[in-house]
Structure 1
Amino acid sequence: MKPDLAVLYEHPQWFIPLWAALDRHGIAYEAIRLSDHSFDPASRDIPAPVVLSRVAMSSFLRETQHGIFYAQSLYDHWAANGATVLNGADVIAIDSSKARQLSLISRLGYAIPETRIVHRREDLLAAARTMRWPLMVKANIGGSGAGITRYATEEELAQSVKDGTVPDSVDSVLLVQDYVPPRGGVITRVETLAGKFLYAIEVESGGDNFDLCPADACAVTRGPIRMAAVQPPAAIVEAAERIAQATGLAVGGVEYLIDDRDGVARFYDINALSNFVAKPLDVLGWDPHDRLVEHLKAAIEEAR
């Protein structure tokens, strides 16, 4: 007998709170590890009526043979054979491309950091000459702050290109982006569920530390970071919800910062993998995993 829910995951420790919440609510589920998975494209079998993606774009940091593009193909296969896939192939296509994220956000009418997209390292300098300094070079597929380097001058970037030390991306797409000084030294991540505001966390940005994931598992290697629950202005909440809905996020975060130079809120990241905040009862006063499970229950009922 098939379970009601299948969860495809990559990181072995990140989802212990999710498994606990599913057990607490009595949901029959199968946890499927991505790293050793395979599928038959001629098979019409699906693991469960509802599938939840918990695949991190940072998976390439942990396994050279990462499964990002494999998961996209797998989700498309399962969906074509009748599964309801939450954060499926179309969402991964956006989650795995900062270029697509910024294009989507801009089309919706919201401010982003000034950015140029290239696909060759040797084109970085030409793109940078149309922008102001300092700037950053970012990998199109990142995660946990990976593949981001700040450059103060053209000479510094030129030397990095010459030395072959500029960031790389697993899809060979790079971003040249304005370094936006965050007001108050903080960024804000707005978490959404079913396209609606769930909560927001303000995270302290420490200089050139771009790994600002609020989950416990993300903090292990770099020490604690300051974070606090906040209530963004209504216009920001509405913007985050529109971005999440346009992306098709079942659950996920939208990040922004306030540009200290002009006070403009600039959105810069869409993240379909929400580990949720560390110690949610201390930070939020409630556990968002319970609300996620309620959403999964509704999806399961609809799929029956």
Structure 2
Amino acid sequence: MSKVYVLHENQEWTEHLFTRLKELNVPFEDWFIDNGTVDLQSVPPEGIFYNRMSASSHTRNHRFAPELTSAVLHWLEHHNRTVINGSRALQLEVSKVLQYLELEKYGVKTPKTIAAVGKAEILKAAEQFEGQKFITKHNRAGKGLGVQLFQSIEALKDYVEGDHFEEPVDGITLIQQYIESPESYITRCEFVGGKFVYAVRVDTSEGFELCPADACRIDDLFCPAGEENTKPAMFEIIENFQDPILEKYEKVLAANAIKIAGIEFIKDKDGTIYTYDINTNTNYNSEAETKSGTFGMLEVATFLGAELERTIGNISVK
């Protein structure tokens, strides 16, 4: 029996999708990927395979889940299975360097960024931001983890040489131009089936860890998604959002075979848009969706169901 296979490493981020698939009577199977094996001589089952592997998996003690998922995805693609957010999507999920290069390729402006390995190299790279605010972040992170704002190179030196320095899991630290929004918010655009669904305004006044998932309210003490009764709302869907940037985003996603994603941008005081994140393991905030009457996981489940029907039809023809 053909079904939807969901590849992931975080049950709390995926249970909402399972609920929606059940509501729509879409057959599915949970492929939780942490430890495991891939028999390269075996043949995958029929169906479609939706990859939800996260760049932040290492923060949940699933250090090699992306590497194992990469092996699984290449095995599936070798057998010409229908894979939603396949190996190329995973490459971008775990590397902001690749994200920025791909965005720039399609005319999407990103903040000035330097990738560095080694503490001395981080400090040297920061010299290019002398006299400006700048941030550091991990090349492979997720949820905004590891983001630090600095007013000076001296402050960065204290951090890098101190006890609180966070070594990125892949060793690559990004030193990046700080884009200041006059209203302290960023915008996250959600796409399903490669097409724009909605945009959500995210309040950044409380910090950088901007995971929208409801699970963050339980697991991540410092994630602003956990704040209750924040005014204005931490996450708020923007009604009838339109901007020419959406067409460019859709081109980026199509070129990289990404069907489901959230893309984040910020506007500076002059209204210039800087895009800084493609999240192929996108999650949604239920409070914001309930207020607007738009539901991301329902859109995803509907899309997966339609893809499964299309795949079954192709199989029956053969």
Which residue is 1:217 aligned to? 215
Verify the 8 A CA contact 2:34 2:62 in the aligned structure 1.
Answer: no
SS of the residue aligned with 1:184? coil
1:104 partnered with 2:98: no
1:139, CA displacement in angstroms? 0.7
Verify the 8 A CA contact 1:255 1:267 in the aligned structure 2.
Answer: yes
Which residue is 2:194 aligned to? 195
1:114, CA displacement in angstroms? 1.2
Verify the 8 A CA contact 1:137 1:166 in the aligned structure 2.
Answer: no
Which residue is 2:23 aligned to? 24
Q: 1:60 to 1:269 in 2, by over 3 A?
A: same
1:152, CA displacement in angstroms? 1.5
Letter in 2 for 1:251: I
Which residue is 1:148 aligned to? 147
| Structure 2 CA distance for aligned equivalents of residues 277 and 47 of structure 1 | 33
Q: How does 1:107-126 map to 2 (within 5 A)?
A: 107-126=105-124
Which residue is 2:235 aligned to? 227
| Structure 2 CA distance for aligned equivalents of residues 167 and 134 of structure 1 | 20
SS of the residue aligned with 2:244? helix
Which residue is 1:167 aligned to? 166
Letter in 1 for 2:160: V
1:277 partnered with 2:277: no
Verify the 8 A CA contact 1:280 1:287 in the aligned structure 2.
Answer: no
1:97, CA displacement in angstroms? 0.4
| Structure 2 CA distance for aligned equivalents of residues 94 and 149 of structure 1 | 22
Letter in 2 for 1:278: S
1:280, CA displacement in angstroms? 5.4
1:172, CA displacement in angstroms? 1.2
With 234-243 and 7-16 compared, the bigger mean Cα shift is at 234-243
Which residue is 2:70 aligned to? 72
Q: What is the TM-score normalised by the length of structure 1?
A: 0.92
If asked which structure has higher relative contact order (CA below 8 Å, sep 6+), I would say: 2
Identity within the alignment, %? 26
| Structure 2 CA distance for aligned equivalents of residues 199 and 20 of structure 1 | 21
**Equivalent position to 1:254, from 251, 260, 263:** 263
1:162, CA displacement in angstroms? 2.3
1:245 partnered with 2:254: yes
Verify the 8 A CA contact 2:237 2:289 in the aligned structure 1.
Answer: no
1:232, CA displacement in angstroms? 3.3
Gaps of 5+ in 2: 313-318
1:164, CA displacement in angstroms? 5.7
1:197, CA displacement in angstroms? 0.5
SS of the residue aligned with 1:110? coil
**Equivalent position to 1:63, from 49, 61, 64:** 61
Which residue is 1:302 aligned to? 310
| Structure 2 CA distance for aligned equivalents of residues 182 and 88 of structure 1 | 34
Letter in 1 for 2:127: R
Verify the 8 A CA contact 1:59 1:68 in the aligned structure 2.
Answer: yes
CA shift digits 1:55-85 (9 cap, x unpaired):
1111110115341121112111111123111
| Structure 2 CA distance for aligned equivalents of residues 103 and 65 of structure 1 | 25
With 101-110 and 227-236 compared, the bigger mean Cα shift is at 227-236
Which residue is 1:136 aligned to? 135
Q: 1:116 to 1:84 in 2, by over 3 A?
A: same
1:5 partnered with 2:4: yes
Q: What is the TM-score normalised by the length of structure 2?
A: 0.88
| Structure 1 CA distance for aligned equivalents of residues 4 and 186 of structure 2 | 34
Which residue is 1:293 aligned to? 301
SS of the residue aligned with 1:187? strand
Gaps of 5+ in 1: none
| Structure 1 CA distance for aligned equivalents of residues 35 and 171 of structure 2 | 25
**Equivalent position to 2:275, from 252, 261, 267:** 267
Letter in 1 for 2:187: T
| Structure 1 CA distance for aligned equivalents of residues 181 and 46 of structure 2 | 43
Verify the 8 A CA contact 1:193 1:249 in the aligned structure 2.
Answer: no
1:88 partnered with 2:86: yes
Letter in 2 for 1:69: E
Q: 1:242 to 1:284 in 2, by over 3 A?
A: farther
